Amino acid sequence: MSPPGRSFVRGPAWLLVRRRLVQAPLVLLFVLVGGFLLLEAAPGDAVDAYVASLGGDAGLVHELRERWGLDRSPATRFILYLAGLATGDLGRSVAFDRPVLAVIAERLPVTLALAGGATTFAFALGTGLGILAGARPRGPLDRLLSAAALVLNATPSFWLGLLLALLFAVHLRWLPLAGIETIGAGYTGAARLFDVARHLVLPVSTLGLVYAALYLRLMRAGMVEAWRSDFVRAARAKGISRRRLVLRHVARNALLPVVTMLGLQSATLVGGSVVVESVFAVPGLGRLAAEAVTQRDFPLLLGILIVSALLVLLVNLLVDLLYARIDPRVELGARAP
């Protein structure tokens, strides 16, 4: 990433990383305070959620509230939580009766596989088709792809998921419908990897298709804009081939907003995958977050928020580094004027 002859630790990339590392604790604190206040504002607490589903009497309600520390003031609970966090303790999940870290560690790989797979699929498909559409704006292929993207973009993910499930799992029976592995199969190594990959095809496709439509539209719009630029006219005048013109000049310049979207999308993937995780019974962080809210499990929800915020910070850092790679005009580490 650094220009030749400059070491990373002295280069602009390091400056950017250092600045983000300084910002990270502030971002995390903001996220934690916001998450805690939102959950506090919601009516009912973890004991209400527990007795609403499993019943109980006044004595049990009192006992549980004491046992789970809910008889203390919100401020005391939050300070105790922060004190625990300072020692690396994310607390104990009320809903699962297990350490938060263990619960999240179980689900995180699944979410990373789902979100990573969906992002890769969406980015590759969306930009690829976007280049095809933007190569000849208003041509028949552009019109077809733009219409398809519009339809796909307007399709609710749960509905798309169910349609794909009905086609590929129920009627054709090519793919498994739900879960992430064959229960009790005892696969190991490559066989297990293949089994998990098969189970992820439908959820990854569902999540990826919706975002692919977005990338397609962005890429296509960026290319339409780029076609009007002076440098494209100049390149044309120089007589370079159309293929080279499209890929090296038009598409490359249209890529920046798509990469920006990649960063933003990563922030929404954890939340956005709740529906897809529910439809395909994928045990990921999105479903876990929804359960944490329903159960008013504030240690678990705050733990998920911390992990999500860290993921977003990391992805955005990578996106910023990628900017400079794509467009040399972008100066890493530079402050806004």
Residues found near another protein in the complex (CB under 8 A): 42-46, 48-61, 67, 94-97, 103, 106-107, 158, 162, 165-166, 169-170, 173, 176-181, 183-184, 278-281, 283-284, 287-288, 294-296
* Closer residue to another protein (CB): 279 or 309: 279
Minimum CB–partner distance for residue 277 and another protein (Å): 8
* Closer residue to another protein (CB): 178 or 326: 178
Minimum CB–partner distance for residue 297 and another protein (Å): 10
* Closer residue to another protein (CB): 106 or 225: 106
Minimum CB–partner distance for residue 49 and another protein (Å): 4
* Closer residue to another protein (CB): 181 or 225: 181
> Which phi and psi angles does 96 have, rounded to 5°?
-105, -10
Q: Which of 123, 107, 109 is nearest to 288 (CA)?
A: 107
Minimum CB–partner distance for residue 288 and another protein (Å): 7
Q: What is the sign of the dihedral through the CA atoms of 144, 146, 150 and 155?
A: positive
Distance CA 250, CA 308 (A): 34
Minimum CB–partner distance for residue 55 and another protein (Å): 4
Minimum CB–partner distance for residue 278 and another protein (Å): 5
Task: Say how many Å lie between the first and final Cα of the chain, rounded.
Answer: 23
* Closer residue to another protein (CB): 24 or 162: 162
* Closer residue to another protein (CB): 89 or 181: 181
* Closer residue to another protein (CB): 56 or 84: 56
- Opening angle at CA 56, ends 54 and 61, nearest 5: 115
Minimum CB–partner distance for residue 47 and another protein (Å): 8
